[in-house]
Amino acid sequence: MTSPEPPEKPKLDCREVLEEVYLYLDAECSDVRRDVIRDHLDECSPCLSEYGIEQEVRTIVHRCCSNEKAPDEVKARLRQKLSAIEQVSEIFSEVAERDR
Ligand SMILES: [Zn+2]
């Protein structure tokens, strides 16, 4: 990140949010990450459904808001999907750098 963030609402791009979601799995119920993820869900739910993780992310965020633990199977599934996406986005970023 090279340019300074605008002070009002930090806009994360979808890949950054995916990273946040991944970290969030380990630090469940961390308020900061939950807000970041939830904001992005509101603004940009198509991206999560495109990655096929919208349902899992919503489940986990929602459980957290009501102070319930998300089921391990949901977390495991989401973790699996995220690691698959990570591999894909590594390829994407390599391609983008070559295009420059
Ligand atoms: Zn997005």
pTM of the complete model: 0.64
Residue 88: DSSP 8-state: H
Q: Map tokens 């900061």 to a residue.
A: 32
The pocket of ion ligand 1, defined by CB under 5 A, consists of 14, 44, 47
Average pLDDT over residues 16-28: 78
pLDDT, greater one: 69 or 28: 69
Amino acid 76 reads A
Q: Which of 5-14, 79-88, 91-100 has the highest mean pLDDT?
A: 79-88
Task: For residue 47, report the distance from its CA to the centre of ligand 1, in Å.
Answer: 4
- What is each CA distance from 8 to 11, 17, 20, in whole angstroms? 9, 18, 20
Residue 57 and residue 49: Cα distance in Å, rounded?
10
Task: Count helices and strands (H / E) in the chain.
Answer: 4, 0
Task: For residue 3, report the distance from its CA to the centre of ligand 1, in Å.
Answer: 20
Task: For residue 78, report the distance from its CA to the centre of ligand 1, in Å.
Answer: 16
